[in-house]
Structure 1
């Protein structure tokens, strides 16, 4: 097998990432769902305090471990789209004014992604809260800014997707990676 491509799709909460990744998966592309949403559901179901709003360090450790596992599993495919990547966890920690463990930076260097990252801008028209998305639109916008700064700071090239339909966004990404 040739070079494995691992593309990250990121942005603030409620910007359409998961819908976009689901659409790519339905179109036949290998995808990795947003780990933090799955983790929040699991931790809430267990009655755990290992949640981003209670113990962000514990939560981040678990998410990073699952992101590394997903990265390893992606080796089975020539190309995989990830709903968030390791730099997202770093951005959330920075925004919470928490230290970033050195091992996260090592994890990022040992689990590289494509340098082109697709970022979705805040989009108030589609933003909704749910059981895993508790932030206000203003908080989601601040998270988006932290994510932009973090990815740029680690040398990624951000390609912002238009506020458009799922199919238009999928077309935009596929055109960009040709």
Structure 2
């Protein structure tokens, strides 16, 4: 199984390209944090990412989704973020790294769960604010650097996907993975 990671700051366009992959029939695993935020906001918690257990819950959901994806067909899977992104979020927000996230980081390394190359989507130069995404462009740039540091520290090689039109980004992503074999 080839499991590819897409990462980057909020608003960089990862989800748009993942939508194109899904529309083309690829197996795509959605971002855990966004789903947790949307569910919490629907229940009346306006800013769940401010809770000290948010990265722990994110890591747990990422783990559960990755393990469940093992039963999905096809030799390739595309993941919108990983536990390394949860680590970057913990560092960016100053939240302690708890035992769930620590264990998940250890597991994905020991089991070589994801391909050693991760795809970092460059920022588009602007951020569209949403109820879930409340970050400005300057913060997003800082957050991008935290992602780079976290992925590099955990042994990943980052391939930058430049700020292009979604179809061009998809083509760049597929070109980088075309000759990758398990």
Give the alignment's TM-score, normalised by structure 1.
0.90
Moved over 6 A (4+): none
Shift of 1:99: 2.2
Shift of 1:102: 4.3
Identify the residue that residue 114 of structure 2 maps to in structure 1.
113
Give the alignment's TM-score, normalised by structure 2.
0.88
Instruction: Report the secondary structure of 1:20's partner residue.
Output: helix
Q: Does 1:15 align with 2:12?
A: yes
- The number of aligned residues is 172
CA distance in 2, matches of 1:97, 1:45: 25
Asked whether the 8 Å contact 2:15–2:80 carries over to 1, the reply is yes
Asked whether the 8 Å contact 1:118–1:160 carries over to 2, the reply is yes
Asked whether the 8 Å contact 2:121–2:161 carries over to 1, the reply is yes
Shift of 1:128: 0.7
Match of 1:48 among 42, 45, 65: 45
Structure 2 unaligned residues grouped into runs of 5+: none
Alpha-carbon deviations, 1:136-177, whole Å to 9, x = none? Answer: 111111111100100001000000001111111111111111
Asked whether the 8 Å contact 1:64–1:89 carries over to 2, the reply is yes
The change in CA–CA distance for 1:174 and 1:18 in structure 2 (over 3 A counts) is same
Match of 2:90 among 83, 90, 93: 93
Identify the residue that residue 37 of structure 1 maps to in structure 2.
34
Structure 1 unaligned residues grouped into runs of 5+: none
